[in-house]
Homo-oligomer: A and B are copies of this chain.
């Protein structure tokens, strides 16, 4: 049916998977890396640097913004994007807990 049954999962599971999905594309990873590298925000540069058409970049930015991972403000003619610190911390913490909770070595397989 192509439609995720979100009703049967917890809020936490849905929230985390939504955030991961927003990051789960090489172009969006690249965009985030670019933002992380220059801390200061960018935008039109991405089109040249990534090698994807402008509408495609715009769409990826929209998805990241929709998920709350980045935020953008008008900066004259161009638009300045940067990390949304709140979501970033939330995701970082939640992933931290998630990955830390594996205490390997009890191995069964």
Total identical chains: 2
Could you tell me the distance between the alpha carbons of A7 and B30 in the complex, rounded to whole angstroms? 13
On whether the beta carbons of B8 and A52 are closer than 8 Å, the reply is yes
On whether the beta carbons of A13 and B41 are closer than 8 Å, the reply is no
Q: Which residues of B contact A99 (CB under 8 A)?
A: 88, 91-92, 95
8 Å CB interface, A49-103 against B: 50-52, 71-73, 80-83, 85, 88, 91-92, 95, 98-99, 101-103
Interface size on A, residues (CB 8 A): 52
Q: Which residues of B contact A24 (CB under 8 A)?
A: 17-18, 20-21, 23-24
Given A36-B98, A85-B107: 8 more A-B contacts, CB < 8 Å:
A5-B27, A16-B29, A18-B24, A41-B109, A83-B104, A85-B104, A88-B99, A95-B99
